[in-house]
Copies of this chain bind each other. A is one copy, B any other.
Amino acid sequence: MNEVKGSAGLPDTLVFRLGTLGAVVGDRFAGRIERLDLKPKHVGLLTALGQGSFASQQDLAGRLGVAPSLVVSLADHLESLGALRRVRDPQDRRRQVLTLTDRGHELLAACTAEATTLDGELTAHLDEPERRALHATLGSLATRAGLSTA
C-alpha cells in the first residue's frame, strides 16, 4: 500500500548498482595497493602508459579525464617511486615524454595481481560462463560509456 512495486526501485537500477559497486570495489582495491604506495589514480596513469605511448602529459590528462596539473603530481609521485622517467622531447623541448621503467612495469604487474585476486573473491560464486558473460557485457558497457579501454 505504501510501496511502489510495479516499477523498479532506485536500488534496482544499473546506475545505482554500478555506482555503489564501483565505489566499494574501488575502496577495497585502494586498500590493497596502499602497501605499494599507490592510489587508484596512479594505477590509472600506469595503465595508460602501459597501453601505449602518449605524446604529452596533456594528452594523458585528456585520456584520464583529469586536469593537466593533476598529471603533474601523479607523475611526480610515480617518478619518486622510480616507476617512470620524464624525458624531454628533443623535437619540442616543451614536452616531456613519460615512459615506464622496469620498476613501473613491476608495479603495474603487482596491481594487476591484486585486482585479479579481488576479481576471484568477488566472482567466486559464479560459474565460468557467468563470469565470461559479465566480463563481456561490462566491456561493452565501458565502450558505450565512452571509456576507450583498448
Give residues in A with beta carbon < 8 Å to B: 4, 7-26, 28-29, 40, 43-44, 47, 50-51, 108-109, 111-112, 115-116, 118-119, 122-126, 130, 133-135, 137-142, 144-147, 149
Contact = CB atoms under 8 A, between A and B. Distances in A.
A7 to B, nearest CB: 7
A15 B19 contact: no
Contact of A10 (B8, B20, B43, B145): B43
A21 B22 contact: yes
Given A123-B141, A141-B123, A19 B14 contact: no
Contacts of A17: 135, 138-139, 142, 149
B19 A29 contact: yes
B25 A134 contact: no
